[in-house]
Amino acid sequence: MITVSLIIFLIVAVITLGSALMVVTARNLVHAALWLVVALFGVAILFGLLQAGFLAVVQVVIYIGAIVILIIFAIMLTQRNALEIGSRFNENWGWALGISALVFAALVWAIVSWPGFHVQAQPLDARFDSVAELGKALVASNGYALPFELASVLLLAALIGAIVIAWERKPEER
């Protein structure tokens, strides 16, 4: 039976997959980053359809609002160093396509043959607050505080690296 949510899901899924394809085939890096915004927003809509509002907001705020903006900032800073040279595809694109298709087929086979694939998940207890549990795990010393802080240091290093690469040097320093 076709419902409105199924139609919305199919439309959003096609748009998300199409924009993800455009991310990897776009010749211009800025256009690829903008297609990435569309793909990530499509994923946020899919989270919303799955009643995972917190994950949808996290997808928009962290991935679109921070990560993609940082990528666009780095592209803008290093644009003169990354001139478009060569074609979009190299001579190994056929091999990459074939291997990707084989890996996809293996993943589909592994998921379908898994015994729990056809079992419906049990509903969560109404008293379980996943957002509170996630918040506790992020700030707990034995939780995810260290990986969270390492990710922020890595992003800061990427930002500083982009600034150093784009820094205008005097002709005698070159």
Residue 30: C-alpha distances to residues 35, 39, 106, 161 (Å): 9, 14, 33, 19
Q: Model's pTM, two decimal places?
A: 0.63
Of 42-51, 108-117, 144-153, 162-171, the range with the lowest mean pLDDT is 162-171
Highest mean pLDDT among 33-37, 62-66, 82-86: 33-37
DSSP SS3 for 68: helix
| pLDDT score of 22 | 94
44 or 142, which is more confident: 44
Band (95; pLDDT cuts 50, 70, 90): very high
Q: How confident is the prediction for the chain on average, in pLDDT? A: 84
| Per-residue model confidence as pLDDT tens digits over 8-17 | 999 999 999 9
pLDDT tens for residues 28-56?
888 888 999 999 999 999 999 988 888 88
Contacts 24+ apart (CB under 8 A), 48-55: 49/5, 49/8, 49/9, 49/12, 54/130, 54/131, 54/134
| pLDDT interval class at 152 (50, 70, 90) | confident
- For residues 47 and 56, the answer to whether their CB atoms sit within 8 Å is yes
Residue 72 has pLDDT above 60, yes or no: yes
Residues 136 and 41: their CA atoms lie apart, in Å, by 27
CATH number of 1-88: 1.20.120.1200
Mean pLDDT value across residues 88-108:
89
Q: Is the pLDDT of residue 122 over 80?
A: no
Q: Which residues contact 152 (CB under 8 A, 6 or more apart)?
A: none
Quick one: what percent of the chain has pLDDT higher than 70? 89
What confidence tier does 163 reach under pLDDT thresholds 50, 70, 90?
confident
* Residues comprising the chain, all counted: 174
Q: Is the pLDDT of residue 2 over 60?
A: yes
How much is the CA Rg of the chain, to the nearest whole Å? 21
Residues 32/26, Cβ–Cβ less than 8 Å? yes
